[in-house]
Amino acid sequence: MFHPVFRARRIRGKEIFRRMVRETSVSVNDLVYPMFSAFGSGIRKEVSSMPGIYQQSIEHIVAEAKEVQELGIPAVILFGIPETKDAVGSDAYSEKGIIQETIRAIKANVKDLAVITDVCMCEYTDHGHCGIIRDGDVDNDATIDLLAREALSHVRAGADMVAPSDMMDGRVGAIREILDKNSFSHIPIMSYAVKYASGYYGPFREAAESTPQFGDRRSYQMDPANRLEAIREAQADIDEGADIIMVKPGLPYLDIVRELRNHFKQPLAVYNVSGEYSMIKAAAANGWIDEERVIMETMLGFKRAGADIIITYHAKEVARWLMK
Ligand code: PBG
Ligand code: ZN
């Protein structure tokens, strides 16, 4: 009979040994919870494709932000559904905009919770694109001026960190410059550095009411087939002053997370996007998977791939399971 020298099962055989050699862990400190703030009052409307996730008016956002803080989650990332949209996304950089009001309300009522804002135009433009349209396409340089104004107005309202998600070239530099000029050199930028044109954003566009009214986002978001381009995108954002770089979506792009982890020393975030959440929720609702087990395994996968920060709609349930 053959006797293997290497017997992995010696260590694997006892939970106490498995604990001792475990290489990766998930902590509540790794999590960021996305929230959708809607104009109005008394609104708390579940997103049909994202069970457990709501479009809510400010008083409900504040209540949930408190719950998030009490669970020990360090940060939320905010998306806005404004009262009105127009061609230039005016609400995005208005002092009285939906996000500006939401930031002030959270900051006034919830202590020890970092407020990160998504900086983009698509939630505020009537055409649903992430910038200003000229000749049927998004005009890069006109858009970055507005993104910089949007970021500044978020920070003036009290945002602790800004996260540009538009994928225009040069926007990190433009935002860094305007923040620095206005005495906000201490505010970090988490850049959606590597953001693919993905079908996995479908449920988010229902939640944020930001579906493009013509065409798609392929002229500014990345081609899913590209890996080397991800390194160039991340390098460009780091050179322009990004403090944290992000890969998005998460699960279909874990190779990219690992690639960036190996290349760069910056903190690395992954966005476990809406479609990833919806797929797990749908399978769980059908009894096809063990929900807690699959979600925790998914979180571990992000950490093992090299992510430091996980932006996820599962954040609250993960925080509760981690406390058990
Ligand atoms: C805005 C933005 C999107 C997401 C985050 N910021 C949507 C998009 O680019 O269409 C997607 C998040 C998700 O799917 O959970 N640009
Ligand atoms: Zn956008």
Q: Is residue 44 part of a domain?
A: yes
Nearest CA to ligand 1 atom 8: 201
Q: Is residue 156 part of a domain?
A: yes
Q: Is residue 20 part of a domain?
A: no
Q: Of 47, 77, 120, 277, which is best to mutate to test ligand 1, by the most ligand atoms within 8 angstroms of its C-beta? A: 120
Q: Is residue 18 part of a domain?
A: no
Would you state the structure tokens that stand for residue 38, as one six-digit string?
Answer: 């809607």
In three-state secondary structure terms, 83 is: coil
86: phi then psi, degrees, rounded to nearest 5: -145, 180
The set of residues, in sequence order, having a beta carbon less than 8 Å from that of 213 and lying 6+ positions away, is 126, 127, 128
Ligand 1 atom closest to residue 275's alpha carbon, by position in its atom list: 14
How far, in Å, from the CA of 125 to the mean position of ligand 1? 14
Q: Please compute the mean of the pLDDT values over residues 193-211 and round it to a whole number.
A: 95
Give yes or no: 14 in active site. no
Strands 44-46, 54-56: pairing is antiparallel
Q: Please compute the mean of the pLDDT values over residues 215-221 and round it to a whole number.
A: 95
Looking at residue 259, its pLDDT comes to 98
54: phi then psi, degrees, rounded to nearest 5: -125, 150
How far, in Å, from the CA of 162 to the mean position of ligand 2? 14
pLDDT in tens, 46-70: 999 999 999 999 999 999 999 999 9
Percent of the chain residues topping a pLDDT of 90: 99
Distance between CA atoms of residues 216 and 274, nearest Å: 18
Percent of the chain residues topping a pLDDT of 70: 100
Q: Is residue 10 part of a domain?
A: no
Looking at residue 125, its pLDDT comes to 97
pLDDT in tens, 137-188: 999 999 999 999 999 999 999 999 999 999 999 999 999 999 999 999 999 9
Q: Is residue 278 part of a domain?
A: yes
Looking at residue 59, its pLDDT comes to 98
Distance between CA atoms of residues 28 and 62, nearest Å: 20
Query: If you ran DSSP here, which 8-state letter would residue 128 be given?
Result: -
Q: Is residue 4 part of a domain?
A: no
User: Which residue range is the domain that position 201 belongs to?
Assistant: 25-322
The domain total for the chain is: 1
Nearest CA to ligand 1 atom 14: 201
pLDDT in tens, 259-301: 999 999 999 999 999 999 999 999 999 999 999 999 999 999 9
Distances (CA, A) of 90 to 5, 153, 170, 195, 229: 68, 12, 21, 24, 32
Looking at residue 95, its pLDDT comes to 97
Average pLDDT, the chain: 97
Distance between CA atoms of residues 67 and 136, nearest Å: 43
Query: pLDDT band at 311, cuts 50/70/90?
Result: very high
Query: pLDDT band at 321, cuts 50/70/90?
Result: very high
Nearest CA to ligand 1 atom 5: 165
Strands 268-272, 161-164: pairing is unpaired
Q: Is residue 247 part of a domain?
A: yes
Strands 75-81, 31-38: pairing is parallel
Nearest CA to ligand 1 atom 2: 165
Looking at residue 269, which CATH number applies to its domain?
Answer: 3.20.20.70
Beta strands in the chain (DSSP E): 31-38, 44-46, 54-56, 75-81, 114-119, 133-134, 137-138, 161-164, 190-195, 244-248, 268-272, 309-312
248: phi then psi, degrees, rounded to nearest 5: -155, 135
Give yes or no: 195 in active site. yes
Selecting among 85, 248, 281, 303, the annotated active-site residue is: 248
pLDDT in tens, 238-249: 999 999 999 999
Looking at residue 284, its pLDDT comes to 98
